[in-house]
Amino acid sequence: MNIVEYTYYLVRQIPPGRVSTYGEVAKALGNKGYARAVGRWMNKNPDADTMPCFKIVSSDGSLGGFGLGLDDKIRRLNEDGISVKNGRIENFENVFFDDFKTDYPLEKWITDPLILY
């Protein structure tokens, strides 16, 4: 599994009614500095209906981006039981998820840049 596939594996762990952040997913990968890369990989997600990239938001609870547009991201969040008000996740602290099951692959993979893609 390459790093993008592993990122999707992590995002699929987020339970219904919960969200996480670009930075938290990057941290679960093993390097919080990869937060922007996580954002790019979410944007390139080939199927938003099976990979819940809409559940990834900014660390302050704001929505961040979404390849299909923010209105669609809000719709998907609402359908998942997550409220959005004024461009932010309501009760962000209560719906925040960071309990990823991970072996922090970047700590191992970073020595071989070809495995990242």
Q: Judge whether 23 lies within some domain.
A: yes
Residue 98, domain member (yes or no) = no
Report yes or no on 103 lying in a domain: no
Domain of residue 47 covers: 3-91
Instruction: Tell me the C-alpha to C-alpha distance, in Å, between residue 116 and each of 6, 14, 27, 109.
Output: 10, 23, 16, 7
pLDDT in tens, the chain (117 residues): 899 999 999 999 999 999 999 999 999 999 999 999 999 999 888 888 889 999 999 999 999 989 899 999 999 999 999 999 999 999 999 999 999 999 999 887 655 555 555
Which amino acids are annotated catalytic?
Answer: 53
User: Which string of b and e fits 81-111 if b means at least 16 CB within 10 Å?
Assistant: ebebeeeebeebeebbeeebebeebbeebee
Chain centroid to CA 105: 16
Backbone angles phi, psi at 62, to 5 degrees: -75, 165
pTM of the complete model: 0.89
Residue 99 lies in a domain: no
**Which CATH number is 29's domain given?**
1.10.10.10
117 domain residue, yes or no? no
Q: How many domains would you assign to the chain?
A: 1
